[in-house]
């Protein structure tokens, strides 16, 4: 009875936000699915892969969901183990709102779900919509939108304790939630605290740990029938060690597909070199004004002060990382094929293989780095190894107001305004000199071409030949500013058998850079404010659901959008100067979707096809170009891409206690034309132009084909499920650099104007079997539930979850940056992409107790 009461309260709390969910699902919502129970039991709000905590690649997935579409509602649960990306879209196409205010980082468009990890109860109430579903809070993104309801009154009254044990990123998790519900006095309080923990002995991947505390507090005052004010604050201060991708050769040598090169031993203790510290305390105030039964005004103000830093072992000299390419056996011997132009040293190959069998060789030797730095300090020399912290701090202030009006039966109109200002502070600090005394703030890549003490080699001429000690800023220090204004409107019309919506938006963005170091190579345009770039963007989207009767429905939608670029791609070389990239432009997005839905007592089915075209966008990346012994900054402009595919979701109710869920997708997501590229090396400061032959390259880090079949069984208080998943067509992130015309010429891939473009590296797909079992008990008159998830039961470790091609080439160039004499390398970078593999068998045990 009490459970029913709690559910009722939850439903009522969510009711004001549920109108987008009401069309097709009415007669099947009573299906009591295993997934819903799991969600109720806290097992599944975010899996580790969905937190986007991989630093090497863009692994942030989209938290898509929809009650209107069985495929959308299930895929996050079913395919989280493979870091599945909805429609292969970047997280930037998924808009996230909190009480109506958009919280995506405008610099890159993304939202980091890790910032709300560990507070599952607080973020359980949300309204999810797909790209072509009407709603009352936004112009929905291509990857859908979510609006989290963070009002104190929405959380069920009572206490709840959750304890979890797992062998994933973290080992233990504890959460406690308390909520009063809306009291007679008009006050509601809700809060949750959580803690997730693993140390280096317990974490699933060697050399990592996890230390995260989470809190959420909300206080709501219902002043009267019309006015309510809610204040919410939350944060998730997290300290964790990151793991890195590795080549198959490294994994083979370490006998571990999850080999992590980012840790080592110091004084006999394990030490991680890449430690992420992240804390994004947020404050949200929301005023709900119920003007009358048909009108509502929702106004929110949001403030976030995010502190993010990630450390990295850096060096001036020999790369001390154990997976440096010259340390591999195949550096000495071409294991891929015989090339008569190369001679091989098999003895060296064997020696290297033998060295790798020793763990101390395949991990970082911190003691030696300390020793080297200590020795150098004896002769007054700079440290050559250090751990630096790369900071990315955000100060975001947002304001939103939206007005809903049920102005006619079956017609709803929403209009809203969003104002946003974001300052992204990017700088490096010296975290640990590893026994050294100091380091000079000098671009060591330039030393040689310029004297060590020359202005040109200084990272900050204003401070001269500056000694850096621990805690000092060095290298780069700049702010990126984004300021947005957006006006949107949404009209939902229910008329007869048709539910339609039309939504539109118009917005403006301006951005600029402010540098705090006067870089020696760009003394006139690196310090102070840059020019300001202005963009006008907007879009329109329409969609309809046509109920054909007897549970049949057709859905359709089309959209056109101009999407302004973010500051993350707007500057050619933000670490060094104020210059914008050339050809910076809005991305043009054309989208369409057509679907069929069937819903009856025993079957719920969705079949959807979609097509997206994107043109004119910008992409940006930096990497170390060893042909030039320099960092290289690269800007692609006029990028053209297309995404299309078909998706199927079906739930078949076999008996009252048994149902079968089937999911499947087959999609394409690729560049449709070659792209102009401008690049600049940090050692020269000279802008170069080229053509990148990226036509046909696929989006990476997700299966473009996936299928799933699951059986869910419920009897009395037990529930269990078994799901088999199959993944295929997994591509790794392509390296543009390998496909520049100049570089392909150097590589001997140019034949009379025709280019033999390297094929994009692929990962392995495969089959994965998951299961779960749970039971609900009554303990001291209160509900206790226990659930056990078992993932990858067959311990398949060969399935690739992501990775990237290395940007280095298979030859060395005798004269940097020029088409010049090349020498083949024995080591084959093209054959050695870096990969992440799915974790083997893993589990999660959860206990929930409500009282």
Partner 1 sequence: MKTQSFIIALLAGAFALTACQDRDWETPEGISTQPPYGNNELVAGTTITIAELQAKYANTIKSNEYKEITEDLWLRCVVTGNDIGDNLYKQITVQDETGGIIIGINGSDQGARMLVNQKLLIRLQDLFIGGYGEQAQLGIKYWNRKYSEYQIGRMEVPFWEKHVRLIMDGSPEAAAFGNIKVDTLDFDASKTMAEQGGRVVRLTGVTISGEGTQIIAPDDGSVPPIGGCINRTVSGGNAGSNCILRSSTYATFKGIAIPTGPVEFYGIATKYRDSWQILARTQSDLTWVK
Footprint on this chain of partner 1 (rule: CB under 8 A): 159, 176, 178, 180, 189, 191, 193-195, 199-200, 209, 211, 213, 215, 217, 237, 239, 241, 266-267, 271-272, 275, 311, 317-318, 342-345, 347-348, 351-352, 355, 361, 365-368, 370-376, 378-379, 381, 384, 432, 435, 447-449, 451-452
From the list 444, 482, 639, 476, the residue with the least C-alpha distance to 573 is 476
Longest dimension (CA), the chain: 86
Nearer to partner 1, 151 or 271 (CB): 271
Nearer to partner 1, 123 or 491 (CB): 123
Nearer to partner 1, 376 or 417 (CB): 376
Residues 6+ apart with CB under 8 A from 576: 476, 519, 521, 522, 526, 633, 682, 685
Nearer to partner 1, 383 or 844 (CB): 383
From the list 130, 94, 126, the residue with the least C-alpha distance to 110 is 94
Say if CB 611 and CB 668 are below 8 A apart: no
Beta-bridge partner residues of 307: 279
Nearer to partner 1, 356 or 727 (CB): 356
Nearer to partner 1, 195 or 713 (CB): 195
Smallest gap from Cβ 572 to partner 1, in A, equals 27
Q: Counting beta carbons within 10 angstroms of the beta carbon of residue 137, is it exposed (0 to 12), middle (13 to 18) or buried (19 or more)? A: buried
Nearer to partner 1, 347 or 759 (CB): 347
C-alpha to C-alpha distance for 649 and 391, rounded to whole angstroms: 42
| b/e burial code for range 67-77 (CB count within 10 A of at least 16 → b) | bbbbbbbbbbb
The count of other CB atoms within 10 Å of the CB of residue 689 is: 11
The count of other CB atoms within 10 Å of the CB of residue 828 is: 17
Smallest gap from Cβ 48 to partner 1, in A, equals 18
Query: 3-state class of 13 per DSSP?
Result: helix
Q: Which residue has the tokens 């004499």?
A: 821
Smallest gap from Cβ 421 to partner 1, in A, equals 30
Smallest gap from Cβ 832 to partner 1, in A, equals 20
C-alpha to C-alpha distance for 614 and 590, rounded to whole angstroms: 6
Say if CB 235 and CB 214 are below 8 A apart: yes
C-alpha to C-alpha distance for 119 and 36, rounded to whole angstroms: 18
C-alpha to C-alpha distance for 395 and 112, rounded to whole angstroms: 15
Nearer to partner 1, 370 or 403 (CB): 370
C-alpha to C-alpha distance for 541 and 546, rounded to whole angstroms: 17
C-alpha to C-alpha distance for 104 and 112, rounded to whole angstroms: 8
Nearer to partner 1, 267 or 337 (CB): 267
Q: How far apart are the first and last CA of the chain?
A: 13
Nearer to partner 1, 166 or 526 (CB): 166
What are 464's two structure tokens? 């001269």
Smallest gap from Cβ 71 to partner 1, in A, equals 38
C-alpha to C-alpha distance for 397 and 304, rounded to whole angstroms: 7
Nearer to partner 1, 370 or 580 (CB): 370
Smallest gap from Cβ 239 to partner 1, in A, equals 6
Nearer to partner 1, 371 or 407 (CB): 371
Say if CB 521 and CB 442 are below 8 A apart: no
Nearer to partner 1, 360 or 462 (CB): 360
Alpha-carbon dihedral 72, 74, 80, 83, rounded to 10 degrees: -20
| b/e burial code for range 219-251 (CB count within 10 A of at least 16 → b) | bbbbeeeeebbbebbbbbebebbbbbbbbbbbb
Smallest gap from Cβ 360 to partner 1, in A, equals 10
C-alpha to C-alpha distance for 163 and 192, rounded to whole angstroms: 13
Nearer to partner 1, 824 or 831 (CB): 824
Smallest gap from Cβ 446 to partner 1, in A, equals 12
Smallest gap from Cβ 378 to partner 1, in A, equals 7
DSSP string computed for 713-738: EEETTEEEEEEEEEEEEEBPBP-GGG
C-alpha to C-alpha distance for 681 and 633, rounded to whole angstroms: 6
Helix, strand, coil percentages for the chain (3-state, nearest 5): 15, 50, 35
Say if CB 429 and CB 389 are below 8 A apart: yes
Smallest gap from Cβ 355 to partner 1, in A, equals 5
Smallest gap from Cβ 176 to partner 1, in A, equals 6
Nearer to partner 1, 510 or 824 (CB): 824
Nearer to partner 1, 343 or 778 (CB): 343
Nearer to partner 1, 117 or 194 (CB): 194
Smallest gap from Cβ 304 to partner 1, in A, equals 19
Smallest gap from Cβ 445 to partner 1, in A, equals 12
Smallest gap from Cβ 437 to partner 1, in A, equals 12
Smallest gap from Cβ 365 to partner 1, in A, equals 7
DSSP string computed for 417-453: EEEEEEEEEEEEEEEE-TT---EE-B-TTTBTTB-TT
What are 62's two structure tokens? 């989209």
282-292/227-235 β-pairing: antiparallel
Smallest gap from Cβ 197 to partner 1, in A, equals 9
Smallest gap from Cβ 808 to partner 1, in A, equals 18
Smallest gap from Cβ 112 to partner 1, in A, equals 19
C-alpha to C-alpha distance for 563 and 672, rounded to whole angstroms: 19
Beta-bridge partner residues of 211: 197, 239
Query: 3-state class of 797 per DSSP?
Result: coil
Nearer to partner 1, 172 or 757 (CB): 172
Beta-bridge partner residues of 730: 703
What are 112's two structure tokens? 């980091």
């Amino acid at each position: 009875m009490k459970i029913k009461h709690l559910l009722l309260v939850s439903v009522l709390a969510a009711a004001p936000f549920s109108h987008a969910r009401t069309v097709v699902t009415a007669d099947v919502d009573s299906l009591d699915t295993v997934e819903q129970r799991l969600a109720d039991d806290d097992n599944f709000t975010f899996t580790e892969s969905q937190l986007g905590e991989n630093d090497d690649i863009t692994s942030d997935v989209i938290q898509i969901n929809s009650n209107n579409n069985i495929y959308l509602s299930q895929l996050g649960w079913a395919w989280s183990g493979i870091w599945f990306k909805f429609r292969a879209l970047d997280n930037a196409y998924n808009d996230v709102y909190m009480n109506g205010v958009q919280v995506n980082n405008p610099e890159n468009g993304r939202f980091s779900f890790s910032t709300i990890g560990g507070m599952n109860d607080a973020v359980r109430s949300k309204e999810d919509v797909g790209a072509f579903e009407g709603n009352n809070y936004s112009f929905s993104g291509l990857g859908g939108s979510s609006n989290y309801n963070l009002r104190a009154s929405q959380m069920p009254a009572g206490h709840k304790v959750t304890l979890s044990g797992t062998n994933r990123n973290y080992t233990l998790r504890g959460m406690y939630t308390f909520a009063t519900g809306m009291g007679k006095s008009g006050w509601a309080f809700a809060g949750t605290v959580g803690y997730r923990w693993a140390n280096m002995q317990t974490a699933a991947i060697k050399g990592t740990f996890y230390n995260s505390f989470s809190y959420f507090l909300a206080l709501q005052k219902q002043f009267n029938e019309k006015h309510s004010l809610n204040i919410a604050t939350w944060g998730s201060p997290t300290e964790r060690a990151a793991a890195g991708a590795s080549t198959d050769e490294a994994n083979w040598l370490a006998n571990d597909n999850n080999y992590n090169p980012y840790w080592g031993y110091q004084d006999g203790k394990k030490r991680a070199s890449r430690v992420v510290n992240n804390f994004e305390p947020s404050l949200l105030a929301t005023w709900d004004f119920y003007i009358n039964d048909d009108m509502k005004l929702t106004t929110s103000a949001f403030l976030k002060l995010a502190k993010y830093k990630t450390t990295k072992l850096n060096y001036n000299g020999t790369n001390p990382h154990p997976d440096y390419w010259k340390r591999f056996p195949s550096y000495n011997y071409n294991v891929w094929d015989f090339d008569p132009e190369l001679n091989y040293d098999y003895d060296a190959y064997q020696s290297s293989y033998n060295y790798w069998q020793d763990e101390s060789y395949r991990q970082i030797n911190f003691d030696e780095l300390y020793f080297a730095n200590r020795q150098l300090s004896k002769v007054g020399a700079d440290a050559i190894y250090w751990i630096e912290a790369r900071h990315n701090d955000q100060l975001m202030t947002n304001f939103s107001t939206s007005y809903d009006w049920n102005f006619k039966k079956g017609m709803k109109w929403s209009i809203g305004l969003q104002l946003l200002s974001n300052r992204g502070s990017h700088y490096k600090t010296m975290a640990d000199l590893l026994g050294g005394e100091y380091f000079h703030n000098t671009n060591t890549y330039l030393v040689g071409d310029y004297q060590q003490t020359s202005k040109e080699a200084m990272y900050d001429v204003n401070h001269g030949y500056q000694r850096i000690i621990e805690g000092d800023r060095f290298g780069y220090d700049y702010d990126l500013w984004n300021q947005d204004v957006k006006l949107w409107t949404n009209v939902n019309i229910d008329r007869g058998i048709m539910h339609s919506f039309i939504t539109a938006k118009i917005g403006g963005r301006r951005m600029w850079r402010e540098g705090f170091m006067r870089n020696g190579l760009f003394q006139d345009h690196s310090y102070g404010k840059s020019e300001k770039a202005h963009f006008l963007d907007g879009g329109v989207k329409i969609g309809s659901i046509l109920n054909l009767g007897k549970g049949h429905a057709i859905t359709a939608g089309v959209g056109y959008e101009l999407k302004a670029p973010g500051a993350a791609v707007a500057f050619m070389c933000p670490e060094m100067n104020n210059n914008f990239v050339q050809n910076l432009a809005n991305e043009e997005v054309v989208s369409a979707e057509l679907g069929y839905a069937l819903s009856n007592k025993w079957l719920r089915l969705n079949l959807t096809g979609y097509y997206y075209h994107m043109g004119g966008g910008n992409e940006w990346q930096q990497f170390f170009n060893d042909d030039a012994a320099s960092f290289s900054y690269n800007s692609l402009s006029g990028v053209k891409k297309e995404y299309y595919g078909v998706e199927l979701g079906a739930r078949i109710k076999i008996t009252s206690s048994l149902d079968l869920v089937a999911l499947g997708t087959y999609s394409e997501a690729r560049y449709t034309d070659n792209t102009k590229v401008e690049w600049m090396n940090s050692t020269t400061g000279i802008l170069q132009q080229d053509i990148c032959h990226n036509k046909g390259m696929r989006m990476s880090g997700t299966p473009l084909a996936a299928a799933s079949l699951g059986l869910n069984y419920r009897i009395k208080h037990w529930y269990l499920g078994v799901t088999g998943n199959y993944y295929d067509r997994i591509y790794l992130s392509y390296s543009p650099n390998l496909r520049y015309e100049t570089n392909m010429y150097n590589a001997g891939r140019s034949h009379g104007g025709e280019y033999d473009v390297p094929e994009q590296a692929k990962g392995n797909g495969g089959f994965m079997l998951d299961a779960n079992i749970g039971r609900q008990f009554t303990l001291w008159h209160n509900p206790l539930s226990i659930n056990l998830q078992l993932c990858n039961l067959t311990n398949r470790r060969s399935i690739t979850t992501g990775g990237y091609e290395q940007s280095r080439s298979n030859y060395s160039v005798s004269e940097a940056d020029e088409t010049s004499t090349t020498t083949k390398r024995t080591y084959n970078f093209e054959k050695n992409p870096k990969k992440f593999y799915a974790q083997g068998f893993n589990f999660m045990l959860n206990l929930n107790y409500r009282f």
